[in-house]
Each structure stands twice: as C-alpha cells, then as structure tokens.
Amino acid sequence: MGKRIVLTGGGTAGHVTPNIALLPSLKEAGYEIFYIGSYDGIEASLIRDQGIPYYGISVGKLRRYFDW
C-alpha cells in the first residue's frame, strides 16, 4: 500500500491555495492525494483542475456566537 493523504479546506480560495502549493511536493514524494470540500465551493473547480480526486460533502458554517 502506498502513501495516501487527504487535504481539505474551502469556502474561499484563500483556504485552498496553500493546499494547491503543497501538491507538487506531495506528488514528488509519491503520495496518492485526495481532497474533501464542499459540493459547490470554489475549491471544487480549483482542485479538479489540478487532476486531484475531489469529494464534495454537505457543509455548514460554525456559529461562534449565542443568540439567546
């Protein structure tokens, strides 16, 4: 079994571009790379353009406040 790695991040390109920057090094090191992101986020097209298998999931926002 080879080395595998799963990357994730999304919502904005700012969360995806650091992962894209890692791709050449990970490929060179022999990793099989997978990506998990939102169904309809910008990351879907950016990652697929890199030839990486992409798995979309249902996501939501984490509320950081109380609404009592």
**What confidence tens digit (pLDDT) does each residue in 21-63 have?**
999 999 999 999 999 999 888 899 999 999 999 999 988 777 7
Which pLDDT belongs to residue 19? Answer: 94
| The model's pTM | 0.81
Tell me if residue 32 falls in helix, strand or coil.
strand
Higher per-residue pLDDT: 28 or 10:
28
Q: What is the mean pLDDT of residues 7-23?
A: 88
Residue 20 lies in a domain: no
The burial of 16, by beta-carbon neighbours within 10 Å (0-12 exposed, 13-18 middle, 19 or more buried), is given as buried
Residue type, 57: I
How far, in Å, CA of 58 to CA of 48, rounded? 18
Please report which confidence band the pLDDT of residue 6 belongs to, taking 50, 70 and 90 as the band edges.
very high
Distance CA 26, CA 68 (A): 46
Number of structural domains the chain divides into: 1
* Structure token pair of residue 59: 């996501």
Q: Is residue 8 part of a domain?
A: no
Q: Which residues span the domain enclosing 56?
A: 33-60
